[in-house]
Every structure is written in C-alpha cells, then in structure tokens.
Amino acid sequence: MNEVEPIKDLAKIGLMKDVLARGKFGKRNVLLFTTFINTAYRISDLISLKLSDVLEIHRKKIRVKERLIMKEQKTSKNNSVILTKKLQEEISAFVEEQYSARYVAQDLDHYLFVSRQHQPGRQPISRRQVWLVLSEAGKKQG
C-alpha cells in the first residue's frame, strides 16, 4: 500500500467528508475518517474497535467514553487519546442509528466499523477496503 500525506487544510477535510458521505456506506466511512484524523491512530488499530472500546454503561445508560484507550497493534504500546465532544456526539449518533437494537439491549460486543461483505457484524472492515474507500474519495475531491 502507498503512503499518503496527512490532510491539513480544513476545507479539504470538509470536502473529503462530503465525498465520503455520498458513498454507499457514507455514515460509516465519514465516522471512520473523522475518528482517524482526530485520534491519529493507524487504520489497522481503528478497524478493530468494538462498541465497548468507545462506549460505556453508566447508571444503566450508554454513553461515549471521554478517552479512547487501546493497545496499538504495530508497536504494542498502550495509548490513550481524548475524544472531542464533537467526535463523541458523532459516535453516539452513529451507534444509535446503525446499532439501535444493540444500543437498546446494551450489547457492546460488536465491531464499530463492520464489513458489509461478510456476515454483518462478524468481521471488521478490512484495512484494504478502508484504503480503497479513502483513496477513491481523495481522488474525487482532488
């Protein structure tokens, strides 16, 4: 896979989100991109996120965690990133809409970014598929 440079221009980030939102799985792809640019985690780390990594049950209600804590796959280091309020809101809205039954049942043992190719929810989206989606969106937005 090719290396890519980070997008630093806010206008380009906005355009990228617009292009991703128009795709077949737009909401998932936009949240994946937003989480990627806000946390600076590698794609391989993000695709393995489960609902339990970003959500917690507090006083019998589900809420988004303020901090994302994970062990990075490549370096095996434990890392912690504060989730912005805006990102917390986007995660909450995405989960409530896409995983409403699991949300109501408080079932958090499910991948956040699932593959639509295999049995839904059984596997996370592949690193290759994420690269293809982001690469195609990048080409479309210039």
Task: Check which CATH number belongs to the domain holding 122 and give it.
Answer: 1.10.443.10
User: Phi/psi of residue 78, each to 5°?
Assistant: -80, 135
Give the C-alpha separation, 115 to 121, whole Å: 7
CA-to-CA separations, 8 to 16, 21, 24, 43, in angstroms, rounded: 12, 19, 26, 18
Domains in the chain, number: 1
pLDDT tens-digit map of 47-81: 999 999 999 988 888 899 999 988 887 887 888 89
Indicate the pTM of the whole model: 0.83
pLDDT band at 7 (very low <50, low <70, confident <90, very high): confident
Number of other residues whose CB lies within 10 A of the CB of residue 121: 14
The token duo for 135 is 């690469």
Which helix (H) or strand (E) is 65 found in, with range? none
The token duo for 66 is 């303020």
pLDDT tens-digit map of 29-41: 999 999 998 888 8
Q: Which domain holds residue 60?
A: 10-141
Q: Answer whether residue 4 is part of any domain.
A: no
Q: Answer whether residue 66 is part of any domain.
A: yes
pLDDT tens-digit map of 82-137: 999 999 999 999 999 988 888 778 888 889 998 877 665 578 898 999 988 888 88
